[in-house]
Amino acid sequence: QIPVIAQQQGSDSASVIFDALQAAQARNIDVLIADTAGRLHTQSNLMEELVKIKRVLGKLDADAPHEVMLVVDAGTGQNALNQAQQFDAAIGLTGISLSKLDGTAKGGIIFAIAKQLGIPIRFIGIGETIEDLRPFDAGEFVDALFD
């Protein structure tokens, strides 16, 4: 059973995540996942919202957030590098995950992102179940690129 903190649609994202962190702290929960999906680096209002979320979390926990993960769609291509640079500049990325590797895309851009930004690749997604989210293994990934 995983508790979910939600508010009405259209609620301020920073407020929802602030409430979620308070609830997690009150329940002695040591992991809080805040999914801010659907944001593009070209949407300045949504990027500013991410900066606000990070600032608001810092009011409750000076070290928060402890992980800032960018999930890159394997089919994004070269634009993913620009996207990662913009997100990193705005909120400071600590990890990258690559999704949708179950399609035809290979996701090779992930290496350029990791090298240029010095950000580790943490996970890959090869489907839609929890078992399909796997820790990144460089050797397996390179082998799959050439299959």
Q: List, in sequence order, every beta strand (DSSP E) within the chain.
A: 69-73, 95-99, 121-125, 133-135
Task: Find which of 5-9, 89-93, 108-112 is predicted with most confidence, using mean pLDDT.
Answer: 89-93
The sheet carrying 133-135 orders its strands as: 69-73, 95-99, 121-125, 133-135
Reported as a single tens digit per residue, the pLDDT across 68-101 is 999 998 888 888 898 899 999 999 999 999 998 8
By DSSP bridging, strand 121-125 and strand 133-135 are: antiparallel
Verify that 38 and 77 share a domain, yes or no.
no
Q: Are residues 101 and 44 in the same domain?
A: no
- The number of C-alpha atoms within 13 Å of 92 and in the hemisphere containing its C-beta is 9
pLDDT, the chain, mean: 87
Between residues 120 and 3, the one the model is more confident about = 120
CA pair distance 24, 92, nearest whole angstrom: 23
Residues 44-74: tens digit of each pLDDT: 787 888 999 999 999 999 998 999 999 998 8
Q: Are residues 71 and 111 in the same domain?
A: yes
**Domain containing residue 53:** 1-62
Residues 47 and 112 occupy one common structural domain: no
pLDDT at 26 over 70: yes
pLDDT of residue 39: 67
Taking alpha carbons only, the member of 65, 61, 99, 67 closest to residue 80 is 99
Residue that the structure tokens 């949407």 belong to? 43
The per-residue pLDDT for 42 is 64
* Alpha carbon distance 93, 73 (integer Å): 16
Among the listed residues 59, 58, 60, 82, the one whose alpha carbon sits nearest the alpha carbon of residue 70: 82
Whether residue 30 is found in the same domain as residue 78 = no
Domain at 125, CATH number: 3.40.50.300
| Contact of 17 with 57, CB cutoff 8 Å | yes
Q: Are residues 79 and 39 in the same domain?
A: no
Domain boundary among 43, 62, 81: 62
Domain edge (last residue) among 19, 41, 62: 62
Could you tell me if 7 and 45 lie in one domain? yes
Same domain, residue pair 42 and 85 = no
Residues 92 and 143 occupy one common structural domain: yes
Instruction: For residues 56 and 118, state if they share a domain.
Output: no
Looking at the 3D structure of the chain, how many domains does it have? 2
Q: Are residues 88 and 126 in the same domain?
A: yes
Q: How far is CA 119 from CA 52, 88, 128, in A?
A: 22, 9, 25
Domain termination residue (choose one: 62, 97, 112): 62
DSSP conformational letter for 129: S
Residue 79 has a pLDDT of 86
Residues 126 and 88 reside in one and the same domain = yes
pLDDT > 70? residue 40? no
**pLDDT tier at 107 (50, 70, 90 boundaries)?**
confident
* pLDDT for residue 147: 74
* Statement: residue 25 has pLDDT above 90: yes
